[in-house]
Amino acid sequence: MGGVARNGDLKIFRAIGKGKASRADYLCGGITIMKNYDLIVIGSGPGGYVAAIRAAQLGLKTALVEKNASLGGTCLNVGCIPSKALLDSSENFHKAQHQFAEHGIDVANLQLDFPRMIARKQEVVDQTVAGIDYLMGKNNIDVLKGTGALVDANTVSVGDEKYRGDKILIATGSVVSDLPFAKPDGKRIITSTEALSLTKLPKSMVVIGGGVIGLELGSVYARLGTEVHVIEYQDSILPTMDRTLGKELGRSLKKLGIKLHLRHAVKSVAGTGRSVTVIADDKKGVEKTFKADYCLVAVGRKAFTGGLGLESVGVTLDERGRIPVNADLQTSVPNIYAIGDVVAGAMLAHKAEEEGVYAVEHMAGQKPHIDHNLIPGVVYTWPEVAAVGKTEEELKAEGVNYRAGSFPFKASGRARVSMDTDGLIKILVDAETDEMLGVHMVGARAADMIHEAVVAMTYRATAEDVSRMCHAHPTFSEAIKEAALAATGDRALHI
């Protein structure tokens, strides 16, 4: 495998592989031959670059195509990493302003250097992206810069060059969805990308969408002192998660000063050079006007396949513009796989990574495994929100006979120690077998704690199994044990 030309002229391809030749096409006895790969990955987000590394580990000669100047996709450049950098910085500022005095720490004359905060975020992004460059080099993965387009089932063009791949993996991700009456202009009507790189702290911001991005970035700005209004169409924030979570988080966000406007239908957004006006109807149909420095549109993302040339291979999209795949992540053309945000399922970096590894291992003849029900979802607000498995609403709709047990952080000594008493943990179990079916948390460090639930549910543990595992004291994780005790039969010890 790897580096073998169609006409068998190994010398030419070894030269190309060692970087001694600059063009991919070579004329050899009048025949144009292309550089060959076992796998060509299109898109270098967490799905694509992780897949490329796994392919290299399995001995596949791999190329990674990326149209952007830097590798890492949405997640590293304008998604997970920069948003978490700003969430951390703003949380430090907010704690210093509102909690330190209670701890006996005097930080009089606390100042916010907003440009420095944004600059640090960019440094974190640059270092993380540079890490991907290093990993590509270390794994001998050829990085091809430019837009990758399918020419046929085994050929990908990148600019003027063509490359042959035994297998092709599409990992082209997603882009922001907008509303017909709220087209981001990059100035006053913005998306998450601009919100991560503002140069001046806004006095006010209207966020359309009370989902993950709206609440994470809304939190960043509210913590720094911006007046934030979140307008949500549904009757709950985080409407796709277990409804307990949105209710519980809503209380904390209100304390932070975020104004939540549920069941509001936005009907117009107009930006001037200096401000923006958003008009929405509330649940009673009464018109409300919001004026702010910025309007952040955060109403979801959609699969991206522009310029990919899917029509050349006969792959058609589903009703939501996603690439249909089978259980092994193969498209209707078996040697072309697709993963991550461009296919159905949660739009999460770790979901894309798992699928990338799965697809490549399947190509290599292995029998990989992935359980989409056990992909955790996390919202990095404070308190954090994390969940895995079925929601209570799903269990009701499926007619499952379940039991719920929960434990509030206000009853946790560890939470009191750090003034993190907001939130709770709820565990849903099968009423007959006690098997854990869903775990839902709002609380400090929920993003890290959720993995105890993932492990337990992967091994199909019962709530009693988890309740009998010793949990160190004092920890936030003790709340999992207590919620498990509550779920397994009203046996929580500290409530």
Q: Report if residue 48 touches ligand FAD, rule: CB under 6 A.
A: yes
- Please give the C-alpha separations between residue 359 and each of 74, 136, 245, 331, in angstroms, as whole numbers: 20, 19, 33, 11
Task: Please pick, from the candidates 55, 189, 228, 348, the single residue that binds ligand FAD as defined by CB under 6 A.
Answer: 348
Q: Which is nearer to ligand FAD, 68 or 418 (CB)?
A: 68
- Stretches 125-133, 299-307, 327-335, 452-460: which one binds ligand NAD (CB under 6 A)? 299-307
- The distance of closest approach from Cβ of residue 22 to ligand FAD in the complex, given in angstroms and rounded to an integer, is 20
Q: Which is nearer to ligand NAD, 152 or 448 (CB)?
A: 448
In the 8-state DSSP scheme, what is residue 332? S
Q: Whose structure tokens read 């911001």?
A: 205
Measured distance CA(320)–CA(333) in Å, rounded:
20
H/E segment holding residue 33: strand 31-33
Task: Please pick, from the candidates 299, 415, 428, 457, the single residue that binds ligand NAD as defined by CB under 6 A.
Answer: 299
- The distance of closest approach from Cβ of residue 31 to ligand FAD in the complex, given in angstroms and rounded to an integer, is 27
Q: Which residues pair with 425 in a beta bridge?
A: 407, 441
Q: Which is nearer to ligand FAD, 157 or 391 (CB)?
A: 157
Q: How many CB atoms lie within 10 A of CB 247?
A: 13
CA-wise closest residue to 133 among 123, 122, 145:
145
Q: Which of residues 162-181 bind ligand NAD (CB under 6 A)?
A: 179
User: What radius of gyration do the chain's Cα atoms show?
Assistant: 25
Site string for ligand NAD, 448-487 (x = CB under 6 A): ----------------------------------------
Site string for ligand FAD, 389-408 (x = CB under 6 A): --------------------
Task: Please pick, from the candidates 352, 357, 363, 480, the single residue that binds ligand FAD as defined by CB under 6 A.
Answer: 352
Task: Please pick, from the candidates 308, 360, 453, 463, the single residue that binds ligand FAD as defined by CB under 6 A.
Answer: 308
Q: Which residues are catalytic?
A: 473
Q: Report if residue 174 touches ligand FAD, rule: CB under 6 A.
A: yes
- The distance of closest approach from Cβ of residue 441 to ligand FAD in the complex, given in angstroms and rounded to an integer, is 16
Q: Which is nearer to ligand FAD, 226 or 462 (CB)?
A: 226
Is the Cβ–Cβ distance between 266 and 296 less than 8 Å? no
Is the Cβ–Cβ distance between 444 and 409 less than 8 Å? yes
Q: Report if residue 380 touches ligand NAD, rule: CB under 6 A.
A: yes
Q: Whose structure tokens read 């498990």?
A: 484
Q: In this structure, what token pair is assigned to residue 203?
A: 């006095």
- The distance of closest approach from Cβ of residue 300 to ligand NAD in the complex, given in angstroms and rounded to an integer, is 4
Measured distance CA(483)–CA(47) in Å, rounded:
34
Task: Please pick, from the candidates 26, 45, 128, 249, the single residue that binds ligand FAD as defined by CB under 6 A.
Answer: 45
Q: What b/e readout covers 133-150, taking b as 16+ CB neighbours within 10 angstroms?
A: eebbeebebbbbeebbbb
Q: Please state the separation of Cα 427 from the chain's center in Å.
A: 24
Q: Report if residue 347 touches ligand FAD, rule: CB under 6 A.
A: yes
Is the Cβ–Cβ distance between 35 and 135 less than 8 Å? no
Q: Which of residues 148-167 bind ligand FAD (CB under 6 A)?
A: 148
H/E segment holding residue 396: helix 392-397
Q: Report if residue 300 touches ligand NAD, rule: CB under 6 A.
A: yes
- Please give the C-alpha separations between residue 468 and each of 181, 393, 464, in angstroms, as whole numbers: 55, 28, 6
CB neighbour list of residue 194: distance below 8 Å, 6 or more residues apart: 184, 186
Is the Cβ–Cβ distance between 68 and 76 less than 8 Å? no
Q: Report if residue 67 touches ligand FAD, rule: CB under 6 A.
A: yes
CB neighbour list of residue 74: distance below 8 Å, 6 or more residues apart: 45, 173, 174, 341
With CB cut-offs between 5 and 8 Å by kind, which of ligand NAD, ligand FAD, none does residue 125 bind?
none
- Stretches 109-117, 242-250, 298-306, 416-424: which one binds ligand NAD (CB under 6 A)? 298-306
Task: Please pick, from the candidates 16, 39, 65, 249, the single residue that binds ligand FAD as defined by CB under 6 A.
Answer: 65
Q: Give the interface with ligand NAD as residue ranges (CB under 6 A).
A: 179, 208-214, 216, 231-234, 239, 266, 298-301, 346-348, 378-380
Q: Give the interface with ligand FAD as residue ranges (CB under 6 A).
A: 42-48, 65-68, 73-75, 79-80, 83-84, 147-148, 171-174, 192, 213, 304, 307-308, 340-341, 347-350, 352, 380
